[in-house]
Structure 1
Amino acid sequence: MMGNRKEITATLSAALEKKINLYNDPRIYWAKEVTFDYSTNHAVRVDYMKFVPVNNSVSGIEKGDFYCYEVKSSVEDFHSGHGLNFLGDYNYIVMPEDVYQEVSKEIPYYVGVYTSSGGELECTKKAKRHDRTRPVSEMLLMMFRSVARERRRR
């Protein structure tokens, strides 16, 4: 995947948004740039998050799963120390195929990978469940805040 870091990130992000919600279905709950602990010295931001409830009952929502996605455009970006925030039940890194070839042995066993070699995203490695440490209420609130921020930007 050729281009500068900003272009590659934009291309991967657009492909991921399409993958997360291909038909713009309002029943797909997702947000981008979701910040946690924002009023502290150790705020963390997840590039994309999706929530999949079991159903719309109270227990179905409580038992729902969070999917977190981190977009990495280069080996340098992967090693930058920023943005490998795996807060979900299922966590993925989205990167160009050539970057994955270089860093594959550094990716935690439970983290999945989506790769692109210029077009569609392909699931190269499936994520394994990783019990999250944050409650559903906090996760949903932070997603809600991010969506509200995006709405204000328009």
Structure 2
Amino acid sequence: MSRPEITKWLSELTEKLINPNKDNRIYWAREVTFDYAQSNRIRVDYMRFEPLNNTISGIEKGDFYCYEIKSSVEDFHSKNGHNLIGDYNYYVMPSEVYRKISAEIPFGVGVYCPEGSSLVSVKRARRMNRKRSVSEMLLMMFRSANRDKLKNNMQGR
């Protein structure tokens, strides 16, 4: 498989992991961009929000899960796509890539690798101290999800 094909495959598996039943109560977005007008703009491949419950304090205490797709060792070693800004952060990569770079994965960052038609956790993520507010994270997720919704509506015409 070519690198773009591997990225597409890993992306499809990640979407299946995040929301296996296409449940509209699962809050997630892809290509979530932060700091648009800055020179240090970042984009998280996939982001999921899991509120503690639907009360105000439950939303404020919710957790953000970030997933970065890495299709090759070269992709992992590139300066792009190491945007580990969630409460829980994961790389998603082929098993052979993980075997080659496992010692380089930061402590606390988890890893998912494909096994058959799904992803399995090969390294557990640990909670990290997020530096961005719940409101900023949710707004950026909402913006990205809305972009995709509008794009899909335009394609459906």
Give the structure-1-normalised TM-score.
Answer: 0.97
Which contiguous aligned blocks of 4+ residues in structure 1 show a shift greater than 4 angstroms? none
Structure 1 residue 63 corresponds to structure 2 residue 61: yes
Distance 1:60 1:25 in 2: 20
Deviations 1:76-103 (A, max 9, x none): 0000110010000000000000000000
Deviations 1:93-142 (A, max 9, x none): 00000000000000001100001155321100110000100000000000
Matches within 5 A, 1:71-82: 71-82=69-80
Deviation of 1:152 after TM superposition, in Å, equals: 1.3
Which residue matches 1:15?
13
Supply the distance in 2 between the matched residues of 1:27 and 1:72 (Cα, whole angstroms).
27
- Report how many aligned residue pairs link the two structures: 152
Alignment check: 8 A CA contact 1:28 1:52 kept: yes
User: Distance in 2 between the 1:81 and 1:34 partners?
Assistant: 17
Q: Which of 20, 23, 27 is 1:25 aligned to?
A: 23
Distance in 2 (CA, whole Å) between partners of 1:64 and 1:152 is 27
Give 1:129's aligned residue: 127
* Structure 1 unpaired stretches of 5+: none
Q: Which amino acid in the other structure matches residue 83 of structure 2?
A: N
| 1:74 CA displacement | 0.1
- 1:147 to partner: Cα distance: 0.5
Whether the 8 Å CA contact 1:51–1:66 is kept in 2: the answer is yes
Alignment of 1:102 with 2:100, yes or no, is: yes
What's the CA shift for 1:75?
Answer: 0.2
Q: Counterparts in 2 of 1:102-121, with a 5 A limit? A: 102-117=100-115, 119-121=117-119
Query: 1: distance between equivalents of 2:133 and 2:72?
Result: 32
Equivalent pair of 1:96/1:117 in contact (CA under 8 Å): no
Deviations 1:11-69 (A, max 9, x none): 00001100100101011000000000011111000000000000000000000000000
Instruction: Report the TM-score, using the length of structure 2 for normalisation.
Output: 0.95
- Higher deviation after alignment, 75-84 or 112-121: 112-121
Mapped contact 1:74–1:95 kept (Cα < 8 A): yes
DSSP 3-state at the match of 1:114: strand
RMSD: 0.8
- Which residue of structure 2 aligns with residue 139 of structure 1? 137
**Aligned position for 2:38:** 40
Give the share of equivalent positions with the same residue, in percent.
Answer: 60
